[in-house]
Structure 1
């Protein structure tokens, strides 16, 4: 039951509520109540704006990138397909114990000893560098798209022109095939240059590549080593 009292209707105060036969007046200030409502709206708006801003400025998870290991005038830059997620988290190239890269590199004659992943930057001492066709780390290379490979081509070429290695060795066929739009790819030396470097395609040393034994990998990498030595004479 509601009571409207004439003497209060024209002022800032208006009251009227009764739950029994005796009216109980509850006074409130219309102006103060309106200001309070607006304040609550402003606070709510600020809270929403702050939350939206935080969502925009804060990524869902930190972006992981594995830095290249490069310097100018190297003999060869080995170009992986893309970093493994585990390698990006570790901060070192070919950090998985199942990857045969460091062992093959040593057995093929590129390094006098087998480099540990934690010491990956020492590869520069032997005229070798490391990069990847696509920067984005993934659990498996099959998560990448051909569009990502093609989009990375210009950046890779600029990198090569800046650092001027003699050879670029793709580790595996997928990146080379996508970048150069080749349906069939042969192992070993290729007919074109890329960013001024001679191009080779070597088998991927990943432990998942069961098509190549350790001996077959070493033989393929040794061919590149021999070509480097022959060119240096």
Structure 2
């Protein structure tokens, strides 16, 4: 596996200022690490769902993830140096401080964790899916059901629809 990222990240962050939304997962899965693309496993619902709820105008292939800022969307993970299933990751794999620094630096309007595990780990408390009661700085926070094929039994597209509606309702550059 080659790493073109100068930081040595498994997958490079896709972050810039002015984004409407940043998705944050726990860590790249084995297939994503191998393919050097976010949410690359064919059983993962991420790309189909972001298109189905209207966040992208067309269905993107995982390898097209660098195009996401064109749609006002960024991508990152809590663990940038490890990959695999959450249970396989080292206990110190999640770098919450780094995520908070990225949020302070890039100030996206909305952050969406792509699993309850990611939300729980980053927020340091139990979470339910949906809009969270506390923002991080100027960033609204959502927790979504995992799009992973391994989480299919708890899949629900409705919180993803609610996120898309929230993002569409936020005018660019305006604080809530």
TM-score normalised over the length of structure 1: 0.66
- 30, 41, 59: which one aligns with 1:114: 59
SS of structure 2 residue aligned to 1:211: helix
User: SS of the counterpart of 1:134?
Assistant: strand
Structure-1 residue corresponding to 2:141: 199
Higher relative contact order (CA 8 A, sep 6+): 2
Stretches of structure 2 lacking an aligned partner (at least 5 in a row): 1-7
> Once superposed, what is the RMSD of the aligned Cα atoms?
1.8
Pairing of 1:137-216 with structure 2 (within 5 A): 137-149=82-94, 152-182=95-125, 184-213=126-155, 216=156
Alignment partner of 1:110: what SS?
Answer: coil
- Does the aligned pair in 2 maintain the 1:76–1:169 contact within 8 Å? yes
Query: What is the rounded CA distance, in whole Å, between the counterparts of 1:129 and 1:71 in structure 2?
Result: 7
Q: Which residue of structure 1 aligns with residue 3 of structure 2?
A: none
Distance 1:99 1:130 in 2: 15
Q: How many residues align?
A: 165
Alignment of 1:71-90 (within 5 A): 71-90=16-35
Is there any run of 5+ residues in structure 1 with no aligned partner, and where? 1-62
Offset, 1:95? 1.2
Deviations 1:170-228, CA, capped at 9 Å, x for gaps: 0111122123221x311101111224311100111001112244xx32x2211011112
Write 1 or 2 for the structure with the bigger share of helix. 1
Measured after TM superposition, the shift of residue 146 of structure 1 is: 4.8
Q: Is the 8 A contact 1:78 1:171 kept in 2?
A: yes
Is this contact kept in 2: 1:202–1:220, CA < 8 A? yes
Report the TM-score, using the length of structure 2 for normalisation. Answer: 0.86
Residue matched to 1:42: none
